[in-house]
Structures are given as structure tokens and as C-alpha cells.
Structure 1
Amino acid sequence: MTTSDYLTVTALTKYLKRKFDADPYLEKVYLTGEVSNFRARVNSHQYFSLKDDKAKISAVMFKGAYQKLKFTPEEGMKVLVVGRLSLYEASGNYQIYIDHMEPDGVGALYQAYEQLKASLEKEGLFKLTHKQSLVKYPKRIAVITSPSGAVIKDIMTTIQRRYPIAQLVLFPTKVQGDDAAGEIAQRIKEVDAIGNFDTMIVGRGGGSIEDLWSFNTEEVVRAVFEARTPVISSVGHETDTTLTDLVADVRAATPTAAAELAVPVLQEELLKIREKQSRLYHALDNQLKHKRARFEKVSESVIFKQPNRLYEAFYLQLDNLDRRLKQTMSTQLHEKQVKWQKQSERLMVKNPSELIKRRHQEREFLEQNLHRAMYQLISDKKQSLYQTTESLDLLSPLKTMGRGYSYVTKNNHIVKSVSDVKIGDEMILNVSDGQIQAEVKEIESDGKA
């Protein structure tokens, strides 16, 4: 193996610490043992050990958790602790970080308390959104507690002193023992079923966790949660916190405090009413004085003495509006009449009967022009034909031949020059009344050709 294959102490320690922190079974550990090497440090973290007859473990309790303890740890005291295990890298020692500590003897109950608390909290039973507001002026108050304890006496005395007009109804029940939880839950449901109580107080005096255990049961907690009547919990003393305290709408530290939360002080409320009554009378008197002064001022105004002046401006406005209305109507009527006249004229121009009549006249006029043009054209054509015929007649060869002229052909071709014939050729002389055969005897040229 090379040097690189060896772990450093730091690497190994970090690896083990991650193992400790990642292990879910070491996240929350319930441990029992004797306190050892304990030296109380004022306003500081506490460092000591827990041991039994065969082993010892270092323990740390931070200041915040230590200040919540309801007892003072002592050397050799047997305790029950709840915490998490981790590794302190600087020394390589593993130790327990304590979140809660109790003297031995209540550990099992405390563990059950924490487990049920976590389960109910996960369900949302302790959320503030489920809390109901107390009735400020209750008429009937139900008290669920022992009839023989000091709780009912304190509540009765306090309510009689503060708010004697409230009716207090005791629902006696056991508050300690095996059957207490079922009886408490039944009483809560009974009060809620009656339905005419404004407030419900559930309470008992202080005691150990075993004495208060009935108020940590799921049965009682769910009965309080499901109650439609607002519930005040007064279980134990200020330092004791039960699950019923957590789920109740309001928690009171003592029975007397529960009664004080349930009712106001009647004399104080009466005093507030008298103060508000006095303020109301004073405000009303001021209002009346103010209104009376305004009334007197208004009644002295000119309008009330000469009410017709109130309408003079309206009369003028009405006349003005009437005049404008007539003028506007006249103008609009004239405009409509002009528009109507123009439309009528346009309709007359575009009237089909008139249009057809005009089209008939135009057709007759065009027919007459057509006839005249046709007659004139035929006359012109006749005259042109006559003149053309006359011209053609004047140019006709027959006409010329009638005056003694003729033309000579040879082999059906007209002889135009002496060069077209020779002596001995036979020719035909064409005259007006026939043909003459001839033979060329002599050819004389005039010398022009």
C-alpha cells in the first residue's frame, strides 16, 4: 500500500460524524443513567456525563434547553434524557446532545407524551387557525372539574366577583385515575351537545405528570378539538403544559385566570357603558345645537322669507329654453322641408313614367332620323350609281368602237405594237358589229418604238 491509501485522522473523524448524523436511530435517543461530573454553570451550556455501572457517555445540554428544566440536576441523580448522538471532531469522542431531561420515574410517560404530541401536531390539531374566539359577554359557562377540589371554588369566587350575571353550571367529573380520561371526554361532548353554553372551562389543580396524565390522552385532546363551544384549559400550574392546554382555544395558568379570561368585570363594563352613554349624550347634544344653529340661520335666509325668488332664475331659464326650443324646432322644420323638396325633385327626375316617356320620344326621334338618313343614303347611292354608270359608259370600248374604232388580236392576244406581228401573220379585227380576219402584208413603223 502507498501513503495515499491511508486515511488521515480528520478524514476518518468526519466520516464517522456523518455516519452519526445520518443515522435516523441516533437522531432521537431516549437514555437513562446517573449524572456524573456535573458542575452547574450559570447562564451557560452544561457539560457532564451519564453513566451506569458498566459504561459512561459525555453529555452536552445547551443553555436554552437547560433553562427549561423544572429541577436542578445533582451528582449521582438518576435521570431520563431525550437527545441526539453525534461526534465531536476535535476530540473524536461521541456524545449526546440533550434536548430534555427528567428525573427517573416519569420517563415512560414523558416519552408517550412526546410521541402523542408529535403525532397530533403533525395532524394540525394545535394550529392557531383552529382556535375559536371567546364570547365577550357569556350568559352560561360550563365548568368540567372535580366538585370537591379548589378549582371550582376559585372559579365560582372569581366569576361571582367579576361578572355575577353569568350562569355557572358544574359538570362534576374525575380528574385523576384510570377512568378519568373517558369521563372528561364524555363531559366535554355532553356540554357541546347541549349547545346553549357560551364558554367551557376544563380544569384541575397542579400535580405530577402522572396526576395530570388524563389531560394528555388522545381521547380528551380530540374531544376538546372537536368541541364547537370555545374551551378554556386550566390544568396544573403555569409551569405544567398538557396536550389539552395546547389544543384548547385559550390556555389559563390557573383556575382564577381561567375565570378572568372567561368573563369581563361587570362594574368595568357598566362604567364603560355609562362613559359611552355620556359621550353619546354629549355628542347628540352637540349635534342638536349645531343643527339648531343651522336651522335658525337657514330660516332667516331671504329664500324662506321670499320663496318666490327661489324660482325667478328658473323662470328666466325656462323662458330662454322655451325660446331656444321653438327656434331650434323652426330651423329643423325648415331644413327638413328643404330636404324634402330636394328629394321630391330628385324623385320626379327619376320617376319611371317620365323616364319612359322621354325614352319613347327619343326613340321616335331616332327612328325619324334613321328613316331620313336611309332615304338620303339610298338617294345618294342611286345618284352615285347613275354617275358611275355614265362614267363607265363613256369609257366603254363598245362605245368607242361604235364611232369606227376597232382592236386587233392575234392568237387571242391584243396587238399593241408592230413588233407583236410579222408579215404573213393572221389577225382578227374586232369591230362593233363583228370580226374581220386579215393577213399582214406589210409592216410600217413610225420610228417611235
Structure 2
Amino acid sequence: MTEKYLTVTALTKYIKRKFEADPYLDRVFLTGEISNFRMRPNAHQYFSLKDDRSKISAIMFKGAFNSLKFQPEEGMKVLVIGRISLYEASGNYQIYIEHMEPDGVGALYQALEKRKQELQKEGLFNPDFKQPLVRFPKKIAVITSPSGAVIRDIMTTIKRRYPIVQLVIFPTLVQGDKAAADITRRIKEVDAIGDFDTMIVARGGGSIEDLWPFNEENVARAIFEARTPIVSSVGHETDITIADLVADVRAATPTAAAEIATPVLTEELLKIKEKENRLNQAMSNQLKYKKQLYDHAMNSFVFKQPKRLYEAFSVQLDMLNRRLEQSLILEVQSKEKEYRTLTQKLYFQHPQGKVDVSKQQVNYLNEKLLTTMQSLMKDNQTNLSQLLLNLDMLSPLKTMLRGYSYVTVDEKIIKSTTELKENQTLTVHLSDGEVETRVSEIKQKEL
């Protein structure tokens, strides 16, 4: 009779097998409200999903939970995707959630993913375009709401870490329909001022609707085009907006943003002091080393026995002097031998005979030259006398002796009556002198 009875374990295994074999339960889409949720850090999450009439246990493994882009809260309506199975120890069926998102914002998530893909294709998320932060900023601009914990956290952190920096707050809308335009305007305003080393864009946590202005395209492009390096801290650590992806650096929290943007002044001063000590130590070691080199040099033979420095050169100089003397002696002997040879040749080729012959030739040529010159002079005198006679025959003075004269005015010879004027003074040139006269009347001949 007992063979007809199943154990609880066998029945449970059978029911579990039915759950896992049913294709409709392998991927279930549910909507419900989160219940009994208690956050378990870095662990699997156990809670329930309920509606007005029913409730189902839920488990979300650590890997799937860490990939969420929002923070689940008690009472939050969500959309989940998972599989249904049975937990054998308690006999309860439960849903193993693989994906979860807030109910009512699924369209926003789809729009967000689509915009991310478009901007990523354009290269707005490319690490090559991200600017390095200034290590020691002098002036930081903070774009956020002027009230709330965000600005207080940033101010407190920066004052604690790096109080020498100038912090300028640019009050900005961070939620609502007008927030995106206001954030864009503030980013461009800070960048246009141009003297800020770093810009922090920050906002506290919230729902995807609250954070949506930081997912707008105009905000993303303003961050991408800014020349001032930007640190983005929007929402909680699990919230990642498009502004975070485009910014040069993303910080998980406003406090982290302040820490990323500034060094710790006391640590930097300590580093400077350490480097100063190292520099002093290095300089001291260098001085000791140089002192050792100096002492070694001063104790060398160069300074104590300087003659040893040039002893070898002195020996070499003596050898060169001897070689020079020997070379000079050989050169003189060679020249003397050459001189004797040339003297002997000159003796046999004495020029006295050539000199006597040349003297006879010179005497002959002198006599010939004298005869030629006398003949030439006589011919030239005859030609000159004839030329003088011919010239005298052509001389105007001969003509003037026969009663002719010529007239000038201001040393210009007058050739026609047209060149004269009445009462003009003339000079008449005669053979034995000149006569001054005046024109009283001009008579012209008719041709």
C-alpha cells in the first residue's frame, strides 16, 4: 500500500520539474509593486512583487542587480522579466528576475538607449576627445542647484581638501522642462568666461524623470564642445546619464567630484616638503662628492709636483730640437754642394765674350740710329718749311694787308646785315688793329 504514497521531496521535485519544463514559465513578463525590500550590499536581493490581490516571492542575483540603472525602493512599481521556479526547501514558487525597470518609464529608457547609440556613433563618448583635469586648479565653477546637500557636500569637501581654490557657484535648474536649457546656458557661460580651470556639473539622486535634463542632446553637446574640462556627478552611483558619458570625468557622487577636481593641499605640501628634503639631501651628496673630487685633484701630482706634468713633453722637445739641428746641417751641406756645382758651370760659361759681341752690336746700332735720325730730321725740316709757306699763302692776314677787314659783335663774326641792329656797337678788325664804330643805318641789297 505504501508504494502509492509520495514523499514530500519527490512531489516537490516533480512540481519543480513541471515549472522548469513549461515554456510559458521560462520567460515571464510581470508588473507589480516591490514589497519587503531590504537592501543587501554586494549580495543577492530577496523581496516580493504584489498587486491588489496576490504576491509572489522574487530573487535577483547580484550580477543582474548590479546592472540596474536605478535604485529599487519599497512600494515602487516595476516591470520585470524572469523565469518561474520552485524553491524546494520551502515549497514556495518564486520568480528569478533577470531584468527590472521602473513601471511607466519604459519609454524613457528606450529613448535613452536610442540617444546613447546615436551620440556614441558621432563620437561624443570617445575617450580620445576627453580633456585631462588641471592638477592644481585656481578657479572652479560649480553648476548645480543653489540649495540642497549637493552644493554643501562640494563646498565642504573642497574647503577641507584644497581651501586655496576659488569656488564660483552658478545657480542652475536641475529638474523640470526648463532645466536642460538652463544647464546648457550655464555651461556655455562658464566656458565663455574662459578663466576657469575646471567645471563641475552636479545633481543629487532621483528617478529617471528627475534626471532626464542631463540626458538631453543639447546638454550633451554643450559639455562636448566646452573647452573647460568638466566633471559630471549626476544622481547616485548606479545612475549613469548621457552627461556622465560625455563629460571628461564622471564622479559617482558630488563629494567624489570635489575630490577628483582638487588635490589634498596638506598632502601636496607634504610632497613638496619631501621633495625639498630630497633635493637638499641630493645637493648635500653632490657637494660631498664634488669636495672629494676637489680633494683628490688637489692631492694629485699635477699640483704637488707640476714639473712631472711636462717632463715627457720636455724630453720630446729635446728630441725634436736635435732632429731639427741635424736637418738644418744636412740642408746647408746640400745647398753648399749645389752652389759649388753652379759656380763651376758658370766658370766654364763666362759671359765676357758675349758682352764684347753685344758691345759691338750696340755701337753699330747707335751709329745707324744717329744717321737715321739726322736724315729724318732733315726731311721733316724741309716738309715743315713747305707747310709754313703754304700756310702763309692761305693766311687771312695776307688778305687783310690788301685792304680787307671783318666785323664782330661781342666776338661773333657778322656775315649778314640781318644780324645787325641800329645803334649797335661794332668792332672792325684791320690788319694792324681794331676800330669801334656804331650802326647808324642798315641798307640791304635786293637779290
Range into which the TM-score falls when normalised by the shorter chain: 0.5 to 0.7
Partner of 1:172: 171
Partner of 2:118: 119
Q: What one-letter code is carried by the residue in structure 2 that aligns with 1:295?
A: Y
What whole-Å deviation, never above 9, does each CA across 1:135-180 have from its counterpart, x for those lacking one?
1111111111111222222111111111111111111111111111
Q: Within 5 Å, give how 1:146-165 maps onto structure 2.
A: 146-165=145-164
List gaps (5 residues or longer) in structure 2: 1-28, 34-39, 50-58, 83-95, 331-447
From the superposition, tell whether residues 256 and 72 of structure 1 become closer, same or farther in structure 2 (CA, over 3 Å): closer
Q: Does 1:231 align with 2:227?
A: no
| Identity in percent | 67
When the two structures are superposed, what TM-score results if normalisation uses the length of structure 1? 0.53
Q: Within 5 Å, give how 1:401-416 maps onto structure 2.
A: none
CA distance in 1 between counterparts of 2:314 and 2:81 reads 96
Following superposition, the deviation at residue 124 of structure 1 comes to 2.0
State whether residues 44 and 60 of structure 2, in contact with CA within 8 Å, keep that contact through their aligned partners in structure 1: no
State whether residues 199 and 231 of structure 1, in contact with CA within 8 Å, keep that contact through their aligned partners in structure 2: yes
List gaps (5 residues or longer) in structure 1: 1-30, 36-41, 50-59, 84-96, 332-449
Q: What one-letter code is carried by the residue in structure 1 that aligns with 2:290?
A: K
Partner of 1:390: none
DSSP-derived class of the 1:212 partner: helix
Partner of 1:272: 271
Partner of 1:216: 215
From the superposition, tell whether residues 203 and 72 of structure 1 become closer, same or farther in structure 2 (CA, over 3 Å): closer
DSSP-derived class of the 1:210 partner: helix
Q: What one-letter code is carried by the residue in structure 1 that aligns with 2:173?
A: K
Structure showing greater Rg: 1
From the superposition, tell whether residues 45 and 188 of structure 1 become closer, same or farther in structure 2 (CA, over 3 Å): closer
Q: What one-letter code is carried by the residue in structure 1 that aligns with 2:145?
A: S
CA distance in 2 between counterparts of 1:310 and 1:248 reads 71
Following superposition, the deviation at residue 100 of structure 1 comes to 4.2
State whether residues 144 and 200 of structure 1, in contact with CA within 8 Å, keep that contact through their aligned partners in structure 2: yes
DSSP-derived class of the 2:207 partner: coil
CA distance in 1 between counterparts of 2:159 and 2:45 reads 48
Q: Alignment length, in residue pairs?
A: 281
Q: Does 1:251 align with 2:250?
A: yes
Partner of 1:263: 262
CA distance in 2 between counterparts of 1:214 and 1:327 reads 105
| Structure 1 vs Structure 2 CA RMSD | 4.3
When the two structures are superposed, what TM-score results if normalisation uses the length of structure 2? 0.54
DSSP-derived class of the 2:209 partner: coil
CA distance in 1 between counterparts of 2:44 and 2:205 reads 30
CA distance in 2 between counterparts of 1:225 and 1:321 reads 82
Following superposition, the deviation at residue 103 of structure 1 comes to 2.4
Partner of 2:295: 296
What whole-Å deviation, never above 9, does each CA across 1:54-84 have from its counterpart, x for those lacking one?
xxxxxx999743542356799x99644699x
Following superposition, the deviation at residue 206 of structure 1 comes to 0.9
Structure 1: 4+ residue segments shifted above 2 A: 31-35, 42-46, 60-74, 76-83, 97-101, 305-309, 311-331
From the superposition, tell whether residues 315 and 182 of structure 1 become closer, same or farther in structure 2 (CA, over 3 Å): farther
Partner of 1:181: 180
Q: Within 5 Å, give how 1:100-119 maps onto structure 2.
A: 100-119=99-118
CA distance in 1 between counterparts of 2:324 and 2:185 reads 86
What whole-Å deviation, never above 9, does each CA across 1:114-139 have from its counterpart, x for those lacking one?
11111112222112222221111111
